[in-house]
C-alpha cells in the first residue's frame, strides 16, 4: 500500500477563553491516500471544518491554537513550517472549496481573472498564459462557453455555476489535495449530483486526493472511498465506507444513518394520513394562476422582457392536509407560495382562502391571510431579528395580532416555546447565541404565534444537519396532530417531503407536471422529471449511480464503475 499523501497524528486544537480552556479538536489521527476521497461527516459543531482549517493553519480566531500533534505532507510537518512556507502550501499543495461560493468569490473581479490570479502566483505564468490556462480550467469544471464566460462576474451565474467557479479557483493552483467544505449543502439535489460527479471526474483526471466535509452520509456513500465520523472534536470511527454504512460501531454513527431520509426503505410516512370528510370545502384554492415578471428593463422600460415564473397552476389544499411542493430552484415553488400569501402580485388567475378571493377581494383577503396564515423561511438566522430577544419577537407578533390580552402574553410566549420544544429560558436569548436548529424552532414559534390555520414552510430545513432536519420534521408532524394545522411544505428534496406530506405536487419551469398521494408519487412516478428528482437524492446505497443532469425533464445518468458487493 502506498504511503499517504497526508498523515495527521494526534492533532489537538484548543481555545483559550476568559472562562478557561476548551479542547475543540481532541487528538484526531487520519491518513489520506493518493487519489482517495475521504468523507468527513458529523453535525454542525462537530469540528469538521475546524479540523480541515487546522491542516492549513487557517484558524478562525487568534484565541485558537494547535497545541500538539503533527500534519505530515511530503516529509514536512505543516504545524512547524514558517508562515512563508505555509503560504505556498495553501492553494499550491492544498486547495479549499467553501460552502457558500457567493461569500468567497470576489464580486467585482471577473471569474476568469480570479482563476488566473492563482495560476500566476503559484505557477509563474504571464498574463496571456494564465488566461489560456484559466479558460481551460473553466471548460474542465463545466462552463459551456469558457472563452466568453471568462469575462463574466459571479452575480451573473446560478448557485451551481458559482460553485463550479469556486472549484476552478481551487484547481488553479494545481494542488495535490482538495478540501471541499459542504460544497453542495445549499444546492438542489440535481445540481448537487452534478457537483459531486464533477469532483469525482476531477479526482480521476488529476489524481487528486479529496477530503469531502458533509453532514449527509448519503453523499459520502455515493462519492467517497472511506468515511471518518467526528463528534465534539473527537474521531469516533473511520474505515471503508461499506464497513461504516453496513456495520457502524458507534451509537452516534448509527443515529446519523437512521436520520438519513432514505428513499429505499419503508413507506411514505405522510402518505394517506389525512382524508378529508365528504362535503368539506378546501381551505385554499388556486385556479389557473399566472405570475409574470418584467426583466431586463432600462430606465424607461425599453427592452423589457416578460418571464413567466408561475404558469397556469391550479391547486386545492384541504383543512388539516400536508402538501409538499417540490422542484429545482427556478421551478416556481417560492413564487407560488408568495403569491398565495399575497406577497407577490398575481398576473391572472385566482387564489381563494376560505372562500375569500385574493384577485377580486384584495383588501379582505389580505387581512384574512395575515391573521390566519404564516410562513417559515429557509435561513433560520436571517429570518429572525438579531437585535430582538426571542420573547420580545414573539410578544411583538402577539401584540399586532391582538388575539391575546397584554397580561396573558408572557404565559402565551411560554406555551409557544413549549410547543416547539425550546426551554422557556430561550425567551431571553438572541439568535446569535442559538444553533441553526434552535433558531428554526423559534421561527416556527413565531409562525404559531399568529394562531394560523395554514403554515407555508419554504425550504425550512435545507440548511440544517440531517439529524436536526429529522427533529424539525418530527416537530411539524407533532404540531399537525396537536393543532390540526394545514401545511404546505416547499422543498427540493423529495425524501424529506416523503416523510412528512400526505400529497406531493411537482413543479417544473413554473408548471405542475405531476401531483398525487405520496405513496403513488414515490412508488410509481409518472413524469420523467419526478423520477429524475427521486433519482438525484444521495442514497446510502453506494451502488446507486449519480445523476448527471436533467435535460427537458429527462434524467441523464453518469455511468459508474461497478462496485463489488460485500458478501
H, E, C per residue of 515-554: EEEHHHHHHCCCCHHHHHHHHHCCCCCCCCCCEEEEECCE
Grade residue 564 by pLDDT with cuts at 50, 70 and 90.
very low
Rg from Cα positions in the chain? 25
CA dist 260 and 244 (Å) reads: 14
The whole-angstrom separation of Cα 197 and Cα 190 is 11
**What's the pLDDT tens digit per position in 263-298?**
444 445 554 444 556 678 899 999 999 999 876 555
Tell how strand 356-357 and strand 37-41 pair up: unpaired
What confidence score (pLDDT) does residue 303 get?
Answer: 60
Question: SS3 sequence, 76-92?
Answer: EECCCCCHHHHHHHHHH
Cβ atoms of 239 and 52 closer than 8 Å: no
As a whole number of angstroms, the distance between CA 476 and CA 451 comes to: 15
Residue 91 located in a structural domain: no
User: What's the grid cell of residue 67?
Assistant: 497545541
Q: Is residue 29 in some structural domain?
A: no
Written as nine digits, the cell of 281 is: 370545502
Residue 174 Rama label (left phi>0; alpha psi -120 to 50; beta) = left
Instruction: Specify the pLDDT at position 266.
Output: 46
- pTM for this one? 0.74
* 3-state DSSP assignment of residue 238: strand
Q: Which of 131, 149, 174 is the last residue of a domain?
A: 174
Measured CA to CA, the distance from residue 206 to residue 194 in angstroms comes to: 18
pLDDT in tens, 128-176: 999 999 999 998 888 888 999 999 998 888 777 888 888 888 888 888 9
Of 68-72, 119-123, 439-443, which has the strongest mean pLDDT? 68-72
217-229, pLDDT tens digit by residue? 888 888 899 999 9
| Number of helices followed by number of strands (H, E) in the chain | 20, 22
Q: Which three cell numbers stand for residue 351?
A: 387564489
Number of domains in the chain: 2
Which CATH number fits the domain that encloses residue 418? Answer: 3.40.50.300
Report DSSP state, residue 423: -
Helix (H) or strand (E) holding 119: helix 111-123
Closest CA to 441 of 363, 356, 384, 517: 384
Same-domain status, 153 and 288: no
Q: Are residues 289 and 160 in the same domain?
A: no
Q: Per-residue pLDDT tens for 372-416?
A: 999 998 777 778 999 999 999 999 999 998 888 999 999 999 999
Map residue 354 onto helix, strand or coil.
coil
Give the model confidence (pLDDT) of 92-117 as tens digits. 899 888 777 777 889 999 999 999 99
Report the C-alpha gap between 334 and 447 in whole angstroms: 17
- Answer whether residue 233 is part of any domain: no
Q: What is the Cα–Cα distance from 306 to 291, expressed in whole angstroms?
A: 10
List of residues 6+ apart from 229 with CB closer than 8 A = 41, 42, 235, 236, 237, 238, 244, 250, 252, 253, 256
Under 8 Å between Cβ of 115 and 108: no
| Residue 53 belongs to a domain | no
Better pLDDT: 285 or 181: 285
pLDDT tens-digit map of 191-212: 778 788 888 888 988 889 999 9
Coil, helix or strand at residue 392? helix
Give residue 546's pLDDT.
Answer: 63
Domain finish residue from 153, 174, 195: 174
* Beta bridge pairs of residue 292: 308
**Per-residue pLDDT tens over the stretch 489-523:** 998 777 788 889 999 999 998 999 999 999 899 88
Domain membership flag for residue 26:
no
pLDDT of residue 533: 83
Does 426 fall in a domain?
Answer: yes
* CA–centroid distance for 113 within its chain: 28
∠ CA 509-260-42, rounded to 5°: 110
Q: How far apart are CA 499 and CA 517, in angstroms?
A: 12
CA distances from 391 to 297, 322, 397, 420, 422 (A): 44, 29, 10, 13, 12
Domain boundary, last residue among 174, 189, 218: 174
Q: Is residue 63 part of a domain?
A: no
pLDDT at 484: 87
Which band of pLDDT confidence, cut at 50, 70 and 90, is reported for residue 72? very high
417: containing domain: 284-293+307-536
- The Cα–Cα gap between 494 and 477 comes to 16
Q: Are 314 and 340 in contact (CB under 8 A)?
A: no
> How many Cβ atoms sit within 10 Å of the Cβ of residue 17?
11
Instruction: Using the predicted structure, report yes or no on whether residue 334 has a pLDDT greater than 90.
Output: no
Q: How many residues does the chain have?
A: 567
Question: Distance from first CA to last CA of the chain, Å, rounded?
Answer: 23
Same-domain status, 499 and 377: yes
User: Does residue 288 form part of some domain?
Assistant: yes
Q: Could you give the maximum distance between any two Cα atoms of the chain, in Å?
A: 77
Q: Could you tell me which of 87, 176, 88, 173 has the C-alpha nearest to residue 133?
A: 173
Amino acid at each position: 500500500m502506498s504511503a499517504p499523501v497526508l498523515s495527521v497524528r494526534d492533532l489537538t486544537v484548543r481555545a483559550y477563553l476568559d472562562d478557561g480552556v476548551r479542547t475543540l479538536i481532541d487528538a484526531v489521527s487520519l491518513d489520506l491516500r493518493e487519489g482517495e476521497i475521504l468523507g468527513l461527516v458529523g453535525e454542525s459543531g462537530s469540528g469538521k471544518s475546524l479540523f480541515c482549517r487546522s491542516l492549513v493553519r487557517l484558524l478562525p480566531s487568534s484565541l485558537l491554537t494547535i497545541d500538539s500533534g503533527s500534519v505530515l505532507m511530503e516529509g514536512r510537518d505543516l504545524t512547524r513550517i514558517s508562515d512563508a512556507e505555509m503560504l505556498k502550501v495553501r492553494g499550491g499543495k492544498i486547495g479549499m472549496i467553501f460552502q457558500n461560493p457567493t461569500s468567497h468569490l470576489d464580486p467585482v473581479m471577473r471569474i476568469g481573472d480570479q482563476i488566473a490570479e492563482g495560476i500566476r502566483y503559484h505557477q509563474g505564468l504571464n498574463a496571456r498564459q494564465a488566461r489560456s490556462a484559466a479558460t481551460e480550467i473553466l471548460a474542465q469544471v463545466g462552463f459551456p462557453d469558457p472563452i466568453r464566460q471568462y469575462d463574466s462576474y459571479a452575480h451573473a451565474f446560478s448557485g451551481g455555476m458559482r460553485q463550479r467557479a469556486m472549484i476552478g479557483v481551487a484547481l488553479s493552483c494545481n494542488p495535490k489535495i482538495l478540501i471541499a467544505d459542504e460544497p453542495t449543502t445549499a444546492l438542489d439535489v440535481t445540481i448537487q449530483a452534478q457537483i459531486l460527479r464533477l469532483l469525482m471526474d476531477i479526482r480521476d483526471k488529476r489524481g487528486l486526493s479529496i477530503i469531502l466535509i458533509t453532514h449527509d452520509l448519503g453523499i459520502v456513500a455515493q462519492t467517497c472511498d472511506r468515511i471518518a465520523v467526528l463528534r465534539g472534536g473527537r474521531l469516533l470511527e473511520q474505515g471503508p465506507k461499506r464497513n461504516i454504512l453496513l456495520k457502524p460501531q458507534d451509537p452516534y454513527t448509527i443515529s446519523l444513518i437512521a436520520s438519513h431520509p432514505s428513499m429505499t426503505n419503508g413507506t411514505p410516512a405522510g402518505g394517506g394520513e389525512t382524508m378529508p370528510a365528504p362535503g368539506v370545502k378546501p381551505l385554499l384554492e388556486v385556479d389557473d394562476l399566472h405570475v409574470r415578471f418584467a426583466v431586463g428593463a432600462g430606465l424607461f422600460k425599453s427592452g423589457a422582457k416578460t418571464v413567466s415564473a408561475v404558469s397556469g397552476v391550479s391547486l386545492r389544499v384541504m383543512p388539516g392536509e400536508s402538501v409538499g411542493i417540490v422542484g429545482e430552484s427556478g421551478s416556481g415553488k417560492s413564487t407560488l407560495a408568495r403569491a398565495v400569501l399575497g406577497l407577490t402580485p398575481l398576473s391572472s388567475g385566482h387564489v381563494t382562502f376560505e372562500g375569500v378571493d385574493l384577485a377580486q377581494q384584495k383588501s379582505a383577503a389580505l387581512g384574512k391571510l395575515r391573521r390566519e396564515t404564516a410562513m417559515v423561511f429557509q435561513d433560520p438566522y436571517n429570518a429572525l431579528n438579531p437585535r430582538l430577544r426571542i420573547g420580545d419577537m414573539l410578544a411583538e407578533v402577539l401584540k399586532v395580532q391582538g388575539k391575546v390580552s397584554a397580561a396573558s402574553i408572557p404565559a402565551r410566549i411560554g406555551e409557544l416555546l413549549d410547543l416547539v420544544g425550546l426551554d422557556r429560558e430561550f425567551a431571553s436569548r438572541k439568535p446569535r447565541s442559538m444553533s441553526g436548529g434552535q433558531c428554526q424552532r423559534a421561527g416556527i414559534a413565531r409562525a404559531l404565534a399568529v394562531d394560523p390555520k395554514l403554515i407555508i414552510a419554504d425550504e425550512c430545513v435545507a440548511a440544517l444537519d440531517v439529524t436536526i432536519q429529522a427533529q424539525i420534521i418530527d416537530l411539524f408532524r407533532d404540531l399537525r396532530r396537536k393543532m390540526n394545522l394545514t401545511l404546505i411544505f416547499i422543498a427540493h428534496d423529495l425524501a424529506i417531503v416523503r416523510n412528512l406530506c400526505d400529497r406531493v405536487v411537482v413543479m417544473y419551469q413554473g408548471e405542475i407536471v405531476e401531483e398525487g398521494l405520496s405513496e403513488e408519487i414515490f412508488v410509481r412516478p409518472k413524469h420523467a422529471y419526478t423520477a429524475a428528482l427521486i433519482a438525484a437524492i444521495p442514497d446510502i446505497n453506494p451502488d446507486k449511480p449519480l445523476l448527471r443532469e436533467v435535460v427537458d425533464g429527462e434524467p441523464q445518468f453518469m455511468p459508474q464503475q461497478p462496485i463489488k458487493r460485500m458478501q
